[in-house]
Amino acid sequence: MAKKKTKFMCQDCGYESPKWMGKCPGCHQWNTMVEEFLPSDNDRRRFVTSDEGTMSKATSIRSIQKEMEPRIFTQITELDRVLGGGVVPGSLVLVGGDPGIGKSTLLLQTSSKLADQDHPVLYISGEESVKQTKIRADRLGVDAEKLFVLAETDLEYISKAIEEINPQLVIIDSIQTIFRSEVTSAPGSVSQVRECTSQLMRIAKTRGIAIFIVGHVTKEGSIAGPRLLEHMVDAVLYFEGERHHTFRILRGVKNRFGSTNEIGVFEMKEEGLEEVLNPSEIFLEERSSGAAGSTVVASMEGTRTVLVEIQALISPTSFGNPRRTATGIDHNRVSLLMAVLEKRVGLLLQNQDAYLNVAGGVRLDEPAIDLAIAVSIASSFRDKPTRPSDIVVGEIGLTGEIRRVSRIEQRVIEAAKLGFERAIIPKKNIGGWTFPEGIQVIGVQTVDEALNEALGGQ
């Protein structure tokens, strides 16, 4: 009997090697190389399905008839927003997040909403029994006639169940527990995840069934398994938030049927996840009035404007190297802005510890928050509070100039709705639009000028 050939594959990035190595050359992680058997010629023939044997012909793009696929509304406004307006039939959506963050809770609530609308839903759990899923459903108040639950990990039986029930939505919780018997490696390995996702994608596209798959995350926060997994699916949603805080943020990082970087905000309660339709009020409701180092910024998350508070604490250091700690914003960006403040404004920050935080657990990564960060740092360093009725928006260049930002009108309108009286924005953004009533718009060109407006006369 011929000896089976083996290879070693990294379980984090998918790097292949003919021999074992302690450190993966691809992702530089230790002890991630696992031995896997190479499929034989007979195994490869078994992988080929009947629909793969037919060859499709190329068609002129002018002759293709465009059909508008009706989206399925989940009745969960925040989820529909992130998906681009609802669930697209035939789409494959990957949902990732830390353990215990609420992925299964959200998908079970979504299944209930769709089943209540007379859409058959199949919820497949590879980690819980049917009775355990029922206990969780009772706690969430889920009781729908057309919600079917299956505890199975073999993809062959899962495919048969999908054919029998013919649902409009399938939930796979989670992809790391599903396996194909033809693949010799263990469930959760790179080969199993890749092959199972490929088969699920084929089912979704050929039968027009929307499939949501849950993916575990690594300790670095990325979805476990090969990066190919995120390329194969139509949408990637990340569920973010601290386990000890009640707020959860659903962020779309990839979406073939809508805009990316959309966010949906939820609050975790005893009965499950509840939508937060106006997150700006929630993020600002505990803001201290008259405290130095606090600034409000209008940030764009996809098509939504979110007003959040940026807090800074600057204190003298007793060590040779001052600390730079940032939560919710890029640490390197904070160091860059502190260098600009020291060089262009004259703030002596080289002997100061800096601690920055975005209140509410939100993560901001757009350059329009630069000016708010700089104002917060200067406010704490000078011990001068900013006005509670001010918002600050602007990108800072290395020469100290304030650069224009996108969608400034939408940001200022949202601030005016929440009762803010002044908006400090880049001077290049003034002109070509009408200011909303009740708010004063001030244009600035340099960081020094912005600090004088935000902290002057205090």
Topology (CATH) of 72-277: Rossmann fold (3.40.50)
CB 208 within 8 A of CB 90: yes
Q: Which residue has the tokens 């943020």?
A: 249
Annotated ligand binding at 138? The verdict is no
Q: Which residue has the tokens 């966010």?
A: 263
Annotated ligand binding at 457? The verdict is no
Distances (CA, A) of 397 to 78, 333, 426, 445: 35, 11, 12, 11
Segments making up each domain of the chain, as ranges: 6-40, 72-277, 282-455
Q: Is 164 helix (H, G, I), strand (E, B) or coil?
A: helix
**pLDDT given at position 318:** 82
Q: Which residue has the tokens 């601030």?
A: 415
Annotated ligand binding at 159? The verdict is no
Helices 370-382, 331-340: crossing angle, 10 deg rounding: 60
**pLDDT given at position 225:** 56
At 411, list the tokens: 């940001």
Q: How far apart are CA 97 and CA 218, in angstroms?
A: 9
> DSSP strand E in 334-382: where?
352-358
Topology (CATH) of 282-455: Ribosomal Protein S5; domain 2 (3.30.230)
Annotated ligand binding at 76? The verdict is no
Distances (CA, A) of 289 to 196, 371, 382, 457: 54, 20, 17, 17
Annotated ligand binding at 5? The verdict is no
Annotated ligand binding at 101? The verdict is yes
Annotated ligand binding at 97? The verdict is yes
Q: Which residue has the tokens 């199972």?
A: 196
At 45, list the tokens: 């023939």
Annotated ligand binding at 104? The verdict is yes
Is the preceding peptide bond at 174 cis, omega within 30 degrees of 0? yes
Residue type at 243 in one-letter notation: R
CB 95 within 8 A of CB 223: no
Q: How far apart are CA 336 and CA 397, in angstroms?
A: 10
Q: In the 8-state DSSP scheme, what is residue 428?
A: G
Provide the b/e sequence for 383-400 (b: ≥16 CB within 10 Å).
Answer: ebbbbbebbbbbbbeeeb
**In 10 A of CB 46, how many CB atoms?**
12
- pTM for this one? 0.77
| Residues 6 or more apart whose Cβ sits within 8 Å of residue 81 | 262, 264, 302, 304
Give pLDDT tens digits along the chain (458 positions).
456 678 888 877 778 888 899 998 888 888 888 887 766 655 555 544 444 455 678 889 888 887 766 899 999 999 999 998 899 999 999 998 888 888 999 999 999 999 999 999 999 999 899 999 999 999 999 999 999 999 999 999 999 999 999 999 999 998 989 999 888 778 887 788 888 999 999 999 999 999 999 987 765 556 655 566 888 899 999 988 766 677 888 989 899 988 887 889 899 888 899 998 888 888 888 788 788 999 999 999 888 899 999 999 999 988 888 999 999 999 999 999 999 999 999 999 999 999 999 987 788 989 999 999 999 999 999 999 999 999 999 999 999 999 999 999 999 999 999 999 999 999 999 988 999 999 999 999 999 999 999 997 44
DSSP string computed for 265-320: EEEEETTEEEE-S-HHHHHHTTPPTT-TTEEEEEEEETTEEEEEEEEEEEEE-SSS
